[in-house]
Amino acid sequence: MPSNKSVSDAPIVQFTNCRILRDHQLQREDLWVREGKILNPEKLFFDEKGSADVQLDCKDSIIAPGFIDVQINGGFGVDFSLATDDFKSGIDLVSQKILSHGVTSFCPTLVTSPPSVYHQILPQISVRNGGAHGAGILGAHLEGPFISKEKKGAHPEHCLRTFEAGAFQDLLATYGSLDCVQIVTLAPEMRRSSEVIQELTSRGICVSLGHSVANLSQAEEAVQHGATFITHLFNAMLPFHHRDPGIVGLLTSDKIPAGRRVFYGMISDGIHTNPAALRIAHRAHPKGLVLVTDAIAGMGLAPGRHTLGQQVVEIDGLNTYIAGTKTLSGSVATMDTCVRHFQEATGCSVETALEAASLHPAQLLGIEHKKGTLNYDSDADFLMLNDNLYVQATYIAGEEVWRQDASGM
Amino acid sequence: MKLIILENYSQASEWAAKYIRNRIVQFGPGPGRFFTLGLPTGLPRDHPESYHSFMWNNFFKHIDISPENVHILDGNAPDLQAECDAFEEKIKAAGGIELFVGGIGPDGHIAFNEPGSSLVSRTRVKTLAMDTILANARFFDGDLSKVPTMALTVGVGTVMDSREVMILITGAHKAFALYKAIEDGVNHMWTVSAFQQHPNTVFVCDEDATLELKVKTVKYFKGLMLVHNKLVEPLYSMKEMGAERSQSKKPYSD
C-alpha cells in the first residue's frame, strides 16, 4: 500500500497477529514502529494519511516491553567488579548475551571494592543506547562499600567504609566519579546517611537501602530524604519482626511522602527467597516489585568457581555461595527465568509478571516515558514471547537484535 | 422498502454485514470511495469519543483501507460551512454515494438530522436536540456539560441522493421511531420517514425494534425472508467475481 508520509520518510513497520501489553493488559492490537519508537497508528492514518511499509506476522506471540535489569554483577565469565584490561569488551559481551534473556537495558552493578577499583572501572562505563551490539546501559549500580558489617553478605569486610567524617565528599572520593552512576545502595543507619542520600537524590541518582541493620524508622527517614529502592528485599537485612518490621516494613509504611512509591528488588530464582515470602511481599505491595537477577560472572557458564569482585564464589546448579561457605552471593538466574518463576510462585497474571521486569524498573528510574512500556512515542524496545513466557525474539529501537532459532538453542 | 427482521442484535449485524459485503463486491473495487456521515464539532481528533477514534478503533484498523479514501467531516475545520460544502463536492466527484448505511435515533433522526430538519437539506452544521445530547451522555461519563451541542452532518437530501439506503435499527427503545418511519406518513419531525420516497431502501432490525409495528406488517415482511435471504446467500468474494464479472446480476429489487 502506498504510504504518504508528510512527517518522515522512515519505514513504518506494523507487527500484526500479536497480543501487546498495554495499559496493564494484553490486548489484541497491532504494534506500529517508526524510527525506533512506538508509533500511534490513528494519528498516522488521519493526520499523515500514512500506512505501513512492512507488515510482520507475529504468529500470535505476546509482545512485551523489554526487560530492565537494575542489578547484575556480570555473567558469562565477566565480572563487573574486576578491573581488567579488557573491561570494555567484557561489558560488551554481557550486554550482547543478555539479549537472549529478554533484557534490553541494564545497570552494570559493582559490589563493594577498594577505591582504586572504582577509579579504574567507572570511567569505562558509559550510558549508551542498546542495539544489535547489545542491551542499553542505563548507568552503574554501586552496591557498597557504605554498607553494614553485620549484613555484608558476600561483600569483603576489609573494603567496607563509612562516610562519618566527610559525608558526601567521602563518598565522592571513594567512587571517583558519579557521572554514569544510576543507583547507589547504602545502609541508612550509618551516620550522616541522610545528607548523603539527599545529595545523591538531588543529582538524580536513585538511592537504595540494603545490606543494612536499619530499623523501620531509620529506613523511613531515609525514604523521606529521597531513598526509593530496597536492594534484594529480605536478603542482607534484618528479618521482618512484628514489633519492628525493619526495612521490610517500608512495603506497607504510612510514612512514605505523598506521590512517591518505594520499589523493592526481588531475586525470584527460587533460592534467595522462599516462594511464600515472595508472595507475602508481592501481595503487600504489588506495584513496587522489581525483578532483578543479581547475576554474577558464573551466570551462563558451567558450574565451578568464579570471581565476584574480591571474592571467590562457587556455583553448584542454581546455588552460588562464597567458596567454602553457605553465604549466598548473587545468582546465576537469567531475567526470563526470574519472570517465569515469579509468575508461577505467585500465580499472578502474565501482565503483572512482565511489568515487574519492565514497567516497574522503568518507574523506579523515572524513565517510564520512554522505556518499560509500549506507549506511543516510547522507545521501541520489546520482546516477542510465547505463552509460557519464553523469549522468542528481542527488539531494540524497532530492530530485531536476537531471535530464538528453530533448533531451540 | 425491504424490511429485514432478524432475531437479535448479533444476527441483524451479521445480515447487514453480509449484505454490505455482497454489495461492495458487486460494485467492483477500483475507485470505490467511502464517506462517513457526521461528526460532532469541538472534539479534538484523538478524543476517545471522536468519530475519528470510533471509526479507527471499530473499522479502519481492522481493514486495509487507504487513508486517502477516508473522508470524515472535520469538526475542527476553521470554516465549518465550507467544510460541509467541500464534502458535498467530494461526494459528487466520487460519482455519488452508492450505498448509505446509517442508524436511527430514538427521535427518528437520520444522521444528525434532528426533528424539524428539512427533508431536502444538504451537509451542514446542525444543533443537536436535547434527546440526542442525553443519549450521547453515556460516552462522556454522564456529564451533560461535556457533550458537544453541535454536529456536522450530511443532510436528508444528501442521503436521498444515494443510489441505495440501508438503515440499521435494533433495540426496543428504537421501536417507536421505526413505527413512525415506516408505518406513518412522511414527516420532517421523523426524518427517517423521508426514505419512503427513496426507490431503494433496506431496513434491517431485530425483534425488539418491531414492538410498535402492526402484527400484519411484521408477518408480511417475515414472510418475505426467504426471498430476502438470497441477497446474502451466496456470499460473494472478490476472487470469484473476476470470473463472473460478465454475468453479475443486479440484486433483487422490490
Domain count, chain A: 2
Asked whether residue A360 falls in the same domain as residue A220, the answer is yes
For B124-143, what is each residue's pLDDT tens digit? Answer: 888 877 877 887 787 788 88
**Does residue A234 register a pLDDT over 70?**
yes
Angle at A161 between CA A159 and CA A166, to 5 degrees: 145
Counting runs of H as helices and runs of E as strands, what totals does chain B give?
9, 9
Q: Which residues from A are below 8 Å from B when comparing CB atoms?
A: 1-2, 4, 30, 41-43, 45-51
pLDDT at residue B57, rounded to an integer = 87
How far lies B207's CA from each of B19, B36, B192, in Å?
19, 27, 19
Q: How far is A104 from chain B (nearest CA, A)?
A: 29
Find the closest chain A residue to B55 by CA distance. A42
Burial of B185 (0-12, 13-18, 19+ CB in 10 A): exposed
pLDDT at residue A329, rounded to an integer = 81
Residue A355 labelled as part of a binding site: no
> Which range, of A105-114, A126-135, B88-97, averages the lowest pLDDT?
B88-97
Asked whether residue A333 falls in the same domain as residue A391, the answer is no
Q: How far is B75 from chain A (nearest CA, A)?
A: 13
**Core vs surface per residue A320-358: b (16+ CB within 10 A) or e:** bbbeeeebbbbbbbbbbbbbbbbbebbebebbbbbbbbb
Residue of A40, A42, A47, A49 to mutate when probing chain B, most B C-beta within 10 A: A42
Q: For residue B31, what pLDDT band results from cuts at 50, 70 and 90? A: low
Q: For residue B113, what pLDDT band results from cuts at 50, 70 and 90? A: confident
Asked whether residue A189 falls in the same domain as residue A336, the answer is yes
CATH code, domain with A350: 3.20.20.140
- Rounded distance between C-alpha atoms, residue A390 and residue A96, angstroms: 18
pLDDT at residue B7, rounded to an integer = 95
Q: For residue A55, what pLDDT band results from cuts at 50, 70 and 90? A: very high
Domain count, chain B: 1
Q: Is residue A84 part of a domain?
A: yes
Closest CA to B194 of B165, B163, B153, B222: B165
Q: Is residue A4 part of a domain?
A: no
pLDDT at residue B248, rounded to an integer = 45
For B222-246, what is each residue's pLDDT tens digit? Answer: 999 999 999 998 888 877 765 454 4
Residues of chain B with Cβ-Cβ distance to A51 below 8 Å are 66-67
For A303-348, what is each residue's pLDDT tens digit? Answer: 888 877 788 888 887 788 888 888 888 889 999 999 999 999 999 9
Closest CA to A264 of A240, A237, A287, A242: A287
**Core vs surface per residue A221-245: b (16+ CB within 10 A) or e:** bbbebbbbbbbbbbbbbbebeeeeb
Residue A235 labelled as part of a binding site: yes
Cβ atoms of A51 and A66 closer than 8 Å: no
Catalytic residue positions of A, numbered: 294
Asked whether residue A52 falls in the same domain as residue A75, the answer is no
**Does residue B40 register a pLDDT over 60?**
no
If you average pLDDT over residues A44-65, what whole number do you get?
92
> What average pLDDT does chain B have?
83
Q: Is residue A162 part of a domain?
A: yes
**Cβ-Cβ contacts under 8 Å for A283 (sequence gap 6 or more):** A346
Phi, psi of A59 (to 5 degrees): 50, 45
CATH code, domain with B126: 3.40.50.1360
Q: Is residue A74 part of a domain?
A: yes
For B179-224, what is each residue's pLDDT tens digit? Answer: 999 999 999 999 999 999 999 999 999 999 999 999 999 999 999 9
Asked whether residue A222 falls in the same domain as residue A341, the answer is yes
Residue-number span of the structural domain to which B46 is assigned: 2-29+36-244
pLDDT at residue B254, rounded to an integer = 44
Find the closest chain B residue to A45 by CA distance. B67
Find the closest chain A residue to B74 by CA distance. A46
Q: Is residue B93 part of a domain?
A: yes
For A161-194, what is each residue's pLDDT tens digit? Answer: 999 999 999 999 999 999 999 999 999 999 999 9
Asked whether residue A240 falls in the same domain as residue A297, the answer is yes
Asked whether residue A205 falls in the same domain as residue A78, the answer is yes
Residue A375 labelled as part of a binding site: no
Asked whether residue A74 falls in the same domain as residue A57, the answer is no
Residue A154 labelled as part of a binding site: yes
CATH code, domain with A37: 2.30.40.10
A50:B46 CB<8 A = no
Q: Is residue A408 part of a domain?
A: no
**Does residue B36 register a pLDDT over 60?**
no
Q: Is residue B56 part of a domain?
A: yes
Residue-number span of the structural domain to which A213 is assigned: 66-365
The reply to whether B60 touches chain A by the CB within 8 Å rule is: yes
Q: How far is A33 from chain B (nearest CA, A)?
A: 15
Q: For residue B46, what pLDDT band results from cuts at 50, 70 and 90? A: low
Q: How far is A8 from chain B (nearest CA, A)?
A: 16
pLDDT at residue B136, rounded to an integer = 77
Greatest alpha-carbon span in chain B: 56
Q: Is residue B254 part of a domain?
A: no
Q: Is residue A6 part of a domain?
A: no
Question: What is the DSSP code string of A86-106?
Answer: THHHHHHHHHHHGGGGTEEEE
Asked whether residue A308 falls in the same domain as residue A350, the answer is yes
Asked whether residue A59 falls in the same domain as residue A203, the answer is no
If you average pLDDT over residues A59-66, what whole number do you get?
96
B64:A47 CB<8 A = no
pLDDT at residue A2, rounded to an integer = 43
For A3-48, what is each residue's pLDDT tens digit? Answer: 444 578 899 999 999 999 999 999 999 999 999 999 999 989 888 8
**Does residue A202 register a pLDDT over 70?**
yes
- Check residue B35 and report its DSSP letter: E
- Rounded distance between C-alpha atoms, residue A334 and residue A291, angstroms: 11
Question: What is the DSSP code string of A158-175?
Answer: GG----TTTTHHHHHHHH
Asked whether residue A56 falls in the same domain as residue A78, the answer is no
- Check residue B44 and report its DSSP letter: -
B67:A49 CB<8 A = yes
A47:B61 CB<8 A = no
pLDDT at residue A4, rounded to an integer = 45
